[in-house]
Amino acid sequence: MSDRCYEEVTLRKRDYAAVGHERTRMNWPEIVEEKEGSEVIRVSDPEAPWARTVDLEALMRAGIPFYGWHGPGDSYSPEVFACDGAQVCFARCLPPGQYPVVQVLEDGSLYAPDMREALKYHEILARVKLLLQE
C-alpha cells in the first residue's frame, strides 16, 4: 500500500493536456473548476500517491507555471506550493491549504525559516497568477 493524500493543482488546461498525458502519469481523477472562457483549470485527486511528487517535478522541469496544495501524508505535512516555471516553493500549511503557516515561538517571535518560506511562496504565487492571467 502506498501513501495517499488529497491534492489540488491549478494550471493551464493546455499544459495539463500536454504534460499530463504524455510525459508523466498525471491523470487527476477530476477537474474541480473550469471557468468558461478561461484557460486555467483546477484539478484534484482525493487519493494522490505521495502527493504526486513525480508529477509536480515533471511540471517544474517542463517550466510550467502552477500552484496548489496537498494534505498530510504518512511522512509529510500539508503544504501549499507554487512554481512560476523557473522557481518553486513548498510551504507548510493547514488544510484546506490556502496560506502558509508560520510558527510563533514561546517568546512571541516568528520562526524565521517559516517566515522566509511563506514570503517566498507569496512572491512566486503572485508571478504564477500573472502568468496564468488570474
DSSP 13-71: HHHHHHHHHHTS----SEEEEE-TT-SEEEEEEEEEEGGGHHHHHHHHHTT--EEEEE-
Amino acid 29: pLDDT: 61
Amino acid 20: pLDDT: 56
Cα(93)–Cα(97) distance, rounded to whole angstroms?
6
pLDDT per residue rounded down to tens, the chain (134 residues): 468 888 899 999 888 876 654 444 556 666 677 778 889 999 888 877 766 777 788 888 889 999 999 988 888 889 999 999 999 999 999 888 789 999 999 999 999 999 999 999 999 999 999 999 87
Question: What's the Rg (C-alpha) of the chain?
Answer: 15
